[in-house]
Amino acid sequence: APEGHTRRLEGPAGIARFLGNISSFAEDLRLGTPKVMDTPDGFVAEYHGDSVFKDTGKPYSQDYIVVVKVEDGRIAHIREYYDPMRVLRAMGEIE
């Protein structure tokens, strides 16, 4: 993520705080059904999301890829990939 934006979330509490804040800046969030592919140590999920950023009224449309590592039946690591330029456009920071 660009400087000044969330780059890392630590632990369940950090993830919960971040997800809880989404409604403060985005509305009408719609997430598609993920396509899930198993890997030797977890899974990869692809999904699409749409929303509108409240401050700008601009639409936000994003494709996500999430890589999840599982150890002993628990999530050990999550890494999410997306195009941060789409976030900046919806925020009105770039054209």
Q: What is the pLDDT of residues 19-60, one digit of tens each?
A: 888 888 899 999 999 999 999 999 999 999 999 999 999 999
Name which of 86, 91, 85 is nearest 57 in CA terms.
91
Burial of 90 (0-12, 13-18, 19+ CB in 10 A): buried
Residues paired with 12 in a beta bridge: none
pLDDT digits (tens, 9 = 90+) for 7-17: 888 888 888 88
Q: CA–CA separation, 5 vs 37, rounded Å?
A: 29
- Report whether pLDDT(2) > 70: no
> Is this structure's pTM higher than 0.85?
no
